[in-house]
Structure 1
Amino acid sequence: MQTKIPKYRELDKIYHPDSCDPLIKAFKNGKIKFAGLKRFNYPGEELPDRVLPGVNSLGFWDAKIRQTWGLGWHRNEGIEFTFLSSGHLDFSLGKKEYFLKSGDLTITRPWQPHKVGNPNVEIGKLYWLIIDVGVRQPHQNWEWPDWVMLAQEDLNMLTKILRQNEKAVWMADNKIHQCFQKIGACLEESKYKIPHSKLNLLINELLLLVLEMFNNEKEEIKLDGTLTDNLRTAELFFEDLKNDYDRPWTLETMAVHCGLGITSLTKYSKQLTNLPPINYLNSIRLEAAAELLRNDNDKNIADICYECGFSSSQYFATAFRKMYKCTPKEFRLMVWETER
């Protein structure tokens, strides 16, 4: 039974682990070359359970003409390495935008929303690899698949750098380029039979080359231990909550989502927002409701109540009056009269 794929919302967008539907459509229409192996709803041929467990997606696309599609905001079920071997590509991670050039390697953690294209994909060839290391939040300990063969000391160092440094884009060397090329050749070979052993060796080689890239960095990589703190996980959650307030959250589901205990989450919530988690959630919902009341005079107040995540119109009215010192109807009327 496959794990249920979660969905996330950012502003007016719904984003989720990416199925790359626009890529597959372009491939079927002959606009792009593509090869891949996958698990879950990622694109490509299905990987058998015994083959490279933990690899959720491995593939490449080769665009010879500018495309009319891009990959919207999404998060991955694992750490993702992408390598642009030719061309240019717009890439956004969180609030930062990048214009990738040939030779750029990107590294994206599971909790980082990102998109490819602005809004379209340029001419170029892009490789990617997503490995599930058993985490969804910054504070959780990574567990690499058993087939990763790096010496424990090297694997620990690689993990530490990946966890305590969130630089998104790196200039890769020719060895990394050649490794991805070999992986691409294996992917084309996998149309007939998956070259399990070759891919195993090549992915291990790639991880070692990434570690060497870190070690050869001209400027010392600055590691920040706070990026793996429980507080960091809570901080990201409460930031996301501003755009994910309509889900039927409870204190328990918040704690489970964060991988934290209820007591810890409550402590961090008070530290970060000065409010307990549910109180903070309600303040966000009420602000969203006020915005709808202000900008959409035709929308039914009851619809606004449920759209913003409240399950009771009576509770919504009581909470709204407490925060804004008037009923939702009175608030809308005051706004309307002010703007006349």
Structure 2
Amino acid sequence: MLNQTKKRKVFHLPSLGYPRFVEFGHYHYRKVEPTLEAHQHQDVVEICFCIRGQQYYELGEHLLKLRGNDILIVPPNQNHSSGVYPEDIGELYWLQIHINHVKGQLCHLPTVQSEFLISALQDKAGGIFKGALVLKSHLQKLIGQLESEQTTLTQLTTNQLLIQLLLETLELSQTTQIVVPSERVKIIDEFIAANLHRIIYVDELAELVNFSTAYFKSWFKQHFGAPPKAYINRLKIERAKEELLKNNTITEVAYNLGFSTSQYFATTFKKFTGMSPKVFRMRVEKP
């Protein structure tokens, strides 16, 4: 393992006996982190599995936004970063694979199969597509296997998980995905947008779509990529950015968006932006 903290783990796969792979990593951020600086991976394709929350990626000239359950394949030798955005609150896994055959065979597969998988991944690079719940299970199991003693059985299981991840990622990338917002999603979105000026309660949202509160929380997270409170607060902070630039005081902005105190507003603002409302205003207004 390269490094491990409560919020971030990174494994160096070749040193653990998995040739052709580079890194496998996972983060779970409960507050924003500094921006991801522009970089590229030489002859390495990277798969990003966004489990929850959201994350911006500046890929070449394109700005992409990942939400919970989205997958992005970053092409090799392609500059990418989070642009002007911080690494956002949420959970994400990444897996890097070397495209050069001299680095070995993928999961000890025959050469033809190994090269087929890598070529297919490169063909799907550069765009976002939807994932599936089974991927999260595979990713969690992979963490457990890599943290275990690397016995023959552990390595066999890990190779199987890696192949499953790649095959299911490719299958998902080839599925025609026409995302049409459901009527319930539109009802919730419109209600939240119209009520950002006040406290929005989860049980009232659940009543709008005739769900129990417990089921609604699970449904909401699946469709919006974040729990209700986090999703609503993120929208409030985006609205707050606009209001702060209209010369409203911080206290006025806080109360106009339903925050009980300006301190709670400032704490929430910093959680989602990495800076206080005052610093945000100074940076934007700076000549």
TM-score, L = length of structure 2: 0.52
Amino acid at match of 1:107: I
- Matched-pair contact (CA < 8 Å) for 1:89–1:117: no
| Superposed CA offset, 1:152-188 (max 9, x none) | 57963x445434444421111222232222223334x
CA distance in structure 2 between the partners assigned to 1:125 and 1:170 by the alignment? 17
AA paired with 2:35?
Answer: G
Q: Distance in 2 between matches of 1:85 and 1:150?
A: 31
**Do 2:130 and 2:177's aligned partners in 1 also have CA atoms closer than 8 Å?**
no
Number of the residue aligned with 1:37: 11
CA drift of 1:208 comes to 1.0
Which residue does the alignment assign to 1:174? Answer: 133
**Counterparts of 1:213-228 in structure 2 under 5 Å?**
213-218=172-177
Alpha-carbon distance, 1:120 to partner? 1.2
Q: Which amino acid aligns with 2:29?
A: A
8 Å CA contact retained: 2:19, 2:104: no
Q: Which residue of 2 aligns with 1:209?
A: 168
Name the SS of the counterpart of 1:74 in structure 2.
Answer: coil
Distance 1:51 1:35 in 2: 18
Tell me which residue corresponds to 1:114. 80
Q: Does 1:85 align with 2:46?
A: no
How far apart, in 2, do the equivalents of 1:79 and 1:202 lie?
18
The 1-side partners of 2:18 and 2:114 are apart by 20
SS at match of 1:126: strand
User: Partner of 1:97 in structure 2?
Assistant: 63
Q: Who is 1:315 aligned against? A: none
C-alpha change, 1:56 and 1:146, in structure 2 (3 Å) is closer
Work out whether residues 133 and 145 of structure 1, in 8 Å CA contact, stay in contact via their aligned partners in 2: no
1:58 aligns with 2:24: yes
Separation (CA, whole Å) in 1 of partners of 2:50 and 2:177 = 21
Distance 1:60 1:117 in 2: 20
1:196 aligns with 2:170: no
The count of residues paired between Structure 1 and Structure 2 equals 174
Helix, strand or coil at the partner of 2:22: strand
Following TM superposition, where does structure 1 have runs of at least 4 consecutive aligned residues deviating by more than 6 angstroms? none
Contact kept, 8 Å, 1:133 with 1:144, in 2: the verdict is no
1:76 paired to 2:36 = no
Q: Which runs of 5+ in 1 are unaligned?
A: 1-19, 40-46, 136-141, 220-340
Counterpart amino acid of residue 176 in structure 2: E
For 1:153 and 1:198, locate their aligned partners in 2 and report how far apart those are by CA, in whole Å: 19
| CA RMSD of superposed structures (Å) | 3.1
Equivalent in the alignment of 1:330: none
- Tell me, what secondary structure is at the counterpart of 1:121? coil
Partner deviation per Cα, 1:81-111 (whole Å, 9 max, x = no partner): 1111111111110011122110111101212
Structure 2: where are the runs of 5+ without partners? Answer: 179-287
Q: In 2 relative to 1, CA 155–209 (structure 1 residues): closer, same or farther, beyond 3 Å? A: farther
Q: 1:37-56, CA deviations, whole angstroms, 9 ceiling, x for partnerless residues?
A: 127xxxxxxx52x7001211
Q: Aligned partners of 1:62 and 1:105: how far apart in 2? A: 16
How much identity, in percent, do the aligned residues show? Answer: 22
Say whether the 8 Å CA contact 2:38–2:81 is kept in structure 1: yes
* SS of 1:52 mapped into structure 2: coil
| SS of equivalent to 1:178 | helix
Partner of 2:107: 147
> Relative to structure 1, is the Cα distance of residues 193 and 161 closer, same or farther in structure 2, using a 3 angstrom cutoff?
closer
Matched letter for residue 159 of structure 2: N
